[in-house]
Amino acid sequence: MANRYEIPFKEQLEKKYQKHLLDILIDFRNQKMSIREISESTGFHYSTVRYWCAKYAITMHGGQRFHPKSNTAPKKEHHFIELFKAKKINLFNVLSRRW
């Protein structure tokens, strides 16, 4: 993997693809690549790719995201949410209450 002591992320990708980095990241997004897939194909660390995507406000296609109100959450997460929102104090919601 490339690191901070070698050619920087932006310079290396711009040299390889002959485009501005923003255009390259948009192309990756249009190909429905995740940050992990981009890091594997470019050789840069996941956090480096994530940093540059955030810098240009580009959101990539990623793995399954969890949203508490959606029905796509796995069973365990639904159970946790029910326990967390319970009226009685329990192990899951004790620190979320005002005392």
Indicate the Cα dihedral angle 26, 42, 62, 96, nearest 10°: -110
- Residue 74 pLDDT level (bands cut at 50, 70, 90): low
Mean pLDDT for 64-87 is 67
- Residue 65 pLDDT level (bands cut at 50, 70, 90): very low
Cβ neighbours of 24 (radius 10 Å): 21
Mean pLDDT for 15-33 is 91
- Residue 19 pLDDT level (bands cut at 50, 70, 90): very high
- Residue 75 pLDDT level (bands cut at 50, 70, 90): low
Query: Domain limits of the chain?
Result: 9-55, 66-99
Cα(94)–Cα(54) distance, integer angstroms = 34
Residue 34 has pLDDT above 70, yes or no: yes
- Residue 68 pLDDT level (bands cut at 50, 70, 90): very low
